[in-house]
Amino acid sequence: MRLPCPYCGVRDAHEFSYLGDAAPRRPDPAAPDAADAFHDYVYLRDNPAGAIRELWYHGAGCRRWIVVDRDTRTHAIAGATFASGSASGDAS
């Protein structure tokens, strides 16, 4: 499988480290239901058969986190963007 890094171009998946689903957002630790929210954030993941947005780290190339749109059934890659949203120079 090859991933289209927004900076480096198409590269072999071995250059990347996989993190997982890009959807979970860190809950507000000050919220009254923080314990339940953190349980879901840490442990619960969807397991879709189809399109998923997931985080990969290009450790062997530009050393940036990217979000890849991948179909879990076919490994078809629809695209990739920088995870930070900003293209340049902003450490994240």
Partner 1 sequence: MSEILSDLPVTDLLPPGRHGRADGAPGVIAHPLSRLAVATLVACKGAVPRITEAALAAFGVALADAPKVSFTADIAFIGTGPGRWLVTASQAPEALMARLTDAFGDGAALTDQSDANLMLDLYGPAVGETLAKLVPVDLDPSVFRPGDAAATLVALMPLTFWQLNDSPAYRFAIPRSFAPAFLRALASAAASAGLEMAGPARG
Which residue from 60, 73, 78, 79 is in contact with partner 1, where contact means CB under 8 A?
60
Tokens for 57?
């780290």
Q: How far apart are CA 58 and CA 12, in angstroms?
A: 10
Which residue from 38, 61, 65, 71 is in contact with partner 1, where contact means CB under 8 A?
61
Phi, psi of 14 (to 5 degrees): -65, -20
The reply to whether 44 sits near partner 1 by the rule CB under 8 A is: no
Q: Segment 2-31, which members bind partner 1 (CB under 8 A)? A: 7-12, 14-15
Which residue from 27, 38, 62, 69 is in contact with partner 1, where contact means CB under 8 A?
62
